[in-house]
Structure 1
């Protein structure tokens, strides 16, 4: 039997370095968590340690000097030590998804299966964080994107009509302020209304207090569960369980999982977010986004130079917001960034064309 080739040794050392680096990421993330999440992350680190031991055993006395892991794991480790946020978990999820042990004959089937399960574990942890910030984050991202695209469209459209630079600047500032106020007010009303709708759908305390007085033979409690999406048999079984232990029954006993609602998603109010937080985020981020296309004119540039600078600055900002959306959603950040840029470029081209036509007509 021949020994491992130099290519085998390099591959095993690379896997060993990656497993060690990945275990370090999970340990660093665990330092920012407590309770169940901390235990889960430490268990993932332990699993990656077992994988590292496999490659150490294959290498034997040819392990060599410790190597640095892949660049993505080094970036993850740096972020985990400093932030420990949902962004790091989303990146870790993508790193797990790129595991290649299925195609590596020297990795065991158990190791390949472990990596796929790790991806789902990290996905679930990241989902908790996404749900906690989804309302405010959604308002922030949409606000910044709307500010960038809408105010760039306004500035380009007005500039293309051939008006003076002072008019372009005034129009851009007016678009910034009016848009930010509109976005903030709209987000406040939208989130507040959604929270009120959710509150109206929650079981009442009066219904829970009435449980001991129900007619057990009729057991109308089963109708509650059927109305919430359970089958007749399951609803009857659930109602019998609640009435059999009235001392433990409370408002929560009236909850029943709906086919359209996942209990793992957290409380609905957490997913929706705070109305005031969403309004402030939307106002601030719309304003910051809308300020980008106006900045060249504020700095004294004019004409085509100001327009080119504005377009480039907005393009870079759109790429950044698109990449952030991709990271937080666990999707590919590069394609999300290009999609965001394409949408913004399309809007800018349309308004530039309209501004040119109207400018020529007025002239």
Structure 2
């Protein structure tokens, strides 16, 4: 018996990878920017930490809720399309077979072979064939709301913990500097890891996240200094 070689592709992990990367980057940037702004305003370490913990909890729940609602909407749309396709297969199978044949002809098969492929795939699993080739819905790329929500919340929490640990470990006089250095280093690492996992250029991915993170830190630090200095 010939063994089928199992291949792994970047698309196989796109669902959870997108949510995890988005969550981790948001956790690092948003919480770091938040606590840096408070620290720049002259708040004591305890207030900075309290702000960061509140930001972590609020951000994790917000990310989970937002991701769930977004992906659930996609899943509902996919389910509706599949229900409609199931109904059409039951009510007019000949038309659906012709439709599938036309899809394969458009992809380059000659008419006779396209018809043969359509008939065999219909006999094997008609709904699966139409979901994949007519609707573009596959098991790999199906929307998974709960998975996306959990991955997003967990990764946000992990990312947000990085700037909080920097605040705890840094000397009181150097909280801002330690926080900035730790955050930017984490963003470089996360950006590179995300690019590598997705098959993109590592340096470009790391630099993109670094630049936006640095801009967020600069804006909030400036705002904190401005309002903290106000009477």
TM-score (norm 2): 0.80
Post-superposition Cα deviations, 1:295-335, rounded to whole Å, max 9, x if no partner, equal 133347324x1222211211221111111122122222122
- The CA deviation at 1:278 is 1.5
Q: What SS class does the counterpart of residue 162 from structure 1 fall into?
A: coil
Larger helix share, 1 or 2: 2
Q: Which residue of 2 aligns with 1:327?
A: 196
Once the two structures are superposed, the pairs formed by residues 64-143 of structure 1 within 5 Å of their partners are 125=7, 128-143=8-23
Given that 2:167 and 2:178 are in contact with CA atoms closer than 8 Å, whether structure 1 keeps it comes out as: no
- Greater radius of gyration (CA): 1
- Aligned-partner Cα distance in 2 for 1:37–1:186: 38
Change in 2 beyond 3 A, CA 1:300/1:238: same
Match of 2:43 in 1: 163
What is aligned with 1:209? 90
User: Separation in 2 of the partners of 1:346 and 1:310?
Assistant: 14
How much has 1:277 moved relative to structure 2?
1.8
Contact 1:180 1:283 in 2 (8 A): yes
Cα distance change, pair 294–197 in 1 and its aligned pair in 2 (3 A): same
- Paired with 1:238 and 1:200, the residues of 2 have a C-alpha distance of 31
Residue 251 of structure 1 corresponds to which residue in structure 2?
127
CA distance in structure 1 between the aligned counterparts of 2:229 and 2:104, rounded to whole angstroms = 61
Q: Distance in 1 between matches of 2:129 and 2:45?
A: 65
Counterpart of 2:152 in structure 1 is 282
- Once the two structures are superposed, the pairs formed by residues 1-363 of structure 1 within 5 Å of their partners are 35-38=3-6, 125=7, 128-202=8-82, 203-211=84-92, 248=123, 250-252=126-128, 254=130, 257=133, 261=136, 267-299=137-169, 301-303=171-173, 305-361=174-230, 363=231
Structure-1-length-normalised TM-score: 0.53
The count of aligned residue pairs is: 225
String of CA shifts for 1:217-273, please: whole Å, max 9, x gaps: xx5875x56998987xx9x9899779988x938334645845x95xxxxx5452245
Q: Distance in 2 between matches of 1:227 and 1:197?
A: 24
| 194 and 35 in structure 1: CA distance in 2 versus 1, 3 angstrom threshold | farther
Distance 2:167 2:152 in 1: 24
Segments of 5+ residues of structure 2 without an aligned counterpart are none
Alpha-carbon RMSD across the aligned residues, in angstroms, is 3.5
Q: C-alpha distance in 2, partners of 1:359/1:177?
A: 25
Match of 1:22 in 2: none
Unpaired runs of 5+ in structure 1? 1-33, 39-124, 262-266
Q: State the SS of the aligned residue for 1:270.
A: coil
How has the CA–CA distance of structure 1 residues 152 and 208 changed in structure 2, closer, same or farther, with 3 Å as cutoff? same
